[in-house]
Amino acid sequence: MNSGRSVPFVKAGACGNDFLLIDRALAPQDIAAFTRHICDRHQGVGADGVEWMSPHFSADLEITLINADGSPAEISGNGTRCVAAYICSNQPKERVSILTGAGTKICSLVGRRNCEYEFEMEMGEAKLQPELTLKIGRAEVQGVPVSLGNPHFVILVHDFPRDWQARAMEIQRSPHFAQQGVNVEFAEPRGKHDLHVHFFERGAGETRSSGTGSCAAAVAAMSMKRAESPVKVHASGGTQIVRKEGKNVFLRGPARLICRGEFFAS
């Protein structure tokens, strides 16, 4: 990036997960370092990651997600909805196709109020593995590995551990997840259709919400007969609804355009 050049961005959020939306053509050579800089909450704009947007012949947009720490990620359900909101703010569309690192996702607009949009997003099939026991320090933890194009490890609990963040960090350091890393969800079922979840994500740490994490937690709870579709997934940033139709998973939730501006890159 040339010294002193400004980079325009749009900031958007979905249930407390915030992202910067930037034209991929403006990306510098060191996209990881730039993303860390602009996502810094003290020296930059602040966000959980950047969705770098490009035109594509078979979709409304193609996006590349880089986490706040500069690491790449296949997909964010919340980030994809933020991009869908951006598209709908510029074009009168009710069905948006977005190419992600986990394939093309369709976002159907179901409601709008000012700068807040609500979408139901086709997430595809969730792939579950058998329940896995990991040794974390001196303790063992059981969870369900789930993939929605990105990796998750869901631990169903009766009460959230006080040190859940530290446990999640230890799980992420497990050699079992050394190749891809993993997003960790602690999920507490409270009835057949309500699930309360804490999220600890690759490249961002604790987040107030996660779209793919909500789907992973709900599908894992369904597989363990602890929940039934549809499931309201409650997090500190808000509530999303996950339902299954056959093998396909659908995620419904809001996305809000927050502001636009220019970032002065040095």
Domain count, the chain: 2
Q: What is the 3-state secondary structure (H, E, C) of 199-258?
A: EEECCCEEECCCHHHHHHHHHHHHHCCCCCCCEEEEECCEEEEEEEECCEEEEEEEEEEE
pLDDT value of position 3: 52
pLDDT at 5: 83
Residue 237 phi/psi, 5° resolution? Answer: -90, -10
Whether the predicted pLDDT of 1 surpasses 90: no
Instruction: Look up residue 48 and give its DSSP letter.
Output: S
- CATH code of residue 159: 3.10.310.10
Question: Do residue 118 and residue 146 come from a single domain?
Answer: no
Pair (133, 232) in one structural domain: yes
Co-location of 117 and 183 in the same domain = no
pLDDT at position 98: 98
Is residue 12 predicted with pLDDT exceeding 90? yes
**58 and 116 part of one domain:** yes
Tell me what pLDDT residue 254 has: 98
The per-residue pLDDT for range 45-74, each reduced to its tens digit, is 999 999 999 999 999 999 999 999 999 999
- Does residue 86 sit in the same domain as residue 133? no
- Residues 160-199: tens digit of each pLDDT: 999 999 999 999 999 999 989 999 999 999 999 999 999 9
- Does residue 36 sit within a domain? yes
Q: How does pLDDT run across 211-259, given as a tens digit for each residue? A: 999 999 999 999 999 999 999 999 999 999 999 999 999 999 999 999 9
- 105 & 139 share domain: no
DSSP class of 172 = H
Per-residue pLDDT at 50: 98
Percent of the chain past pLDDT 90, that is, above it, reads 95
Same domain, 171 and 106: no
Same domain, 161 and 72: no
Q: Is residue 11 part of a domain?
A: yes
Mean confidence (pLDDT) of the chain: 95
CB atoms within 10 A of CB 68: 25
User: What is the model's pLDDT at position 187?
Assistant: 98
Residue 158 within a domain? yes
**Once rounded to an integer, what is the mean pLDDT over residues 98-113?**
97
Return the pLDDT at 265. Answer: 81
Instruction: Please check whether residues 142 and 188 belong to one and the same domain.
Output: yes
| Whether residue 242 sits in one domain with residue 156 | yes
Q: Is residue 1 part of a domain?
A: no
Instruction: Please tell me the predicted confidence (pLDDT) of residue 193.
Output: 98
Note down the domain range covering 131.
127-246
Co-location of 260 and 242 in the same domain: no
Band (118; pLDDT cuts 50, 70, 90): very high
Q: Are residues 52 and 106 in the same domain?
A: yes
